[in-house]
């Protein structure tokens, strides 16, 4: 079945209404009002990025399980991430997440280029020169290898676990260092690959 055929299937009108409600009732009422963010999220069918059995729940205001311990964050999380990232057509961007997933589909038309790495690979050394890095999930600590992939002045947007609470966080690379500033408290799925090493206690 093609994407066009799928969208014309029974129930697609209801999903279109749910997408509109996501814009008006979840994003706008929570302060996400940038026209380009709303346009991006109105144009991407979120239901195409969840398991078939959960299509009718694609626009609920909480994370959706994707299997294998992965989650699609609530729409408000991605709306706020896009807003904070402020991507431009000059950005060489890196997404730490699913390159074929929903957040990648939102980001790709907004930047000059978008690369993606799975969370387990994101902590490794790799190509640099990125002006924007977006981590699709919450981390407890930012690996130095990931920060090294940003150019000086580059931006990084992520979820951050602060004393057990997840927050949206952002930082800019200055003098070779990225300091993350926790922003709004919001429920963001945690990426276990970014947990800090456990320390011995006696």
Query: pLDDT (tens digit, 9 = 90+) per residue, 111-157?
Result: 999 999 988 765 666 778 999 999 999 999 888 888 999 999 999 99
Rg of the chain on CA atoms, in Å: 17
Mean pLDDT of the 76-94 span: 97
User: What's the domain count of the chain?
Assistant: 1
Q: Which residue has the higher pLDDT, 128 or 172?
A: 172
Per-residue pLDDT at 36: 96
139: which 2 tokens?
Answer: 């981390």
Mean pLDDT of the 85-105 span: 96
Per-residue pLDDT for 100 more than 60? yes
Per-residue pLDDT for 189 more than 90? yes
Q: Look over the chain and give the mean of its residue pLDDT values, rounded to a whole number.
A: 88
Residue 190 lies in a domain: yes
Residue 164 lies in a domain: yes
Per-residue pLDDT for 8 more than 80? no
Number of Cβ within a 10 Å radius of residue 199: 5
Residue 199 lies in a domain: no
Residue 33 lies in a domain: yes
Per-residue pLDDT at 76: 96
Residue 163 lies in a domain: yes
Alpha carbon distances (Å) from 165 to 77, 144, 159: 14, 22, 10
Residue 6 lies in a domain: no
Per-residue pLDDT at 144: 86
Q: What is the CATH number of the domain that holds 149?
A: 3.40.50.150
Residue 69 lies in a domain: yes
Residue 202 lies in a domain: no
* 37-68 pLDDT tens trace: 999 999 999 999 999 999 999 999 999 999 88
- Domain range enclosing 150: 11-194
């Amino acid at each position: 079945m093609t994407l066009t055929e799928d969208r014309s299937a029974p129930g697609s009108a209801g999903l279109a209404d749910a997408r509109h409600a996501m814009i008006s009732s979840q994003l706008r009422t929570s302060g996400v009002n940038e026209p380009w963010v709303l346009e991006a999220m109105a144009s991407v069918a979120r239901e195409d990025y969840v398991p078939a059995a959960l299509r009718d729940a694609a626009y609920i205001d909480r994370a959706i399980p994707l299997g294998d311990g992965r989650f699609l964050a609530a729409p408000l999380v991605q709306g706020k991430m896009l807003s904070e990232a402020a991507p431009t057509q000059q950005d060489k961007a890196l997404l730490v997440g699913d390159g074929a997933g929903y957040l990648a589909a939102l980001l790709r038309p907004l930047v000059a280029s978008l690369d993606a790495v799975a969370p387990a690979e994101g902590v490794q050394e790799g190509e640099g020169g990125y002006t924007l890095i977006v981590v699709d999930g919450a981390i407890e600590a930012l690996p130095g290898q990931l920060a090294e992939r940003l150019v000086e002045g580059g931006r990084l947007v992520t979820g951050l676990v602060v004393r057990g609470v997840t927050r949206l966080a952002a930082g800019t690379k200055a003098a070779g260092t990225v300091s993350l500033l926790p922003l709004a408290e919001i429920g963001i799925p945690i990426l276990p690959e970014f947990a800090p090493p456990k320390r011995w206690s006696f």
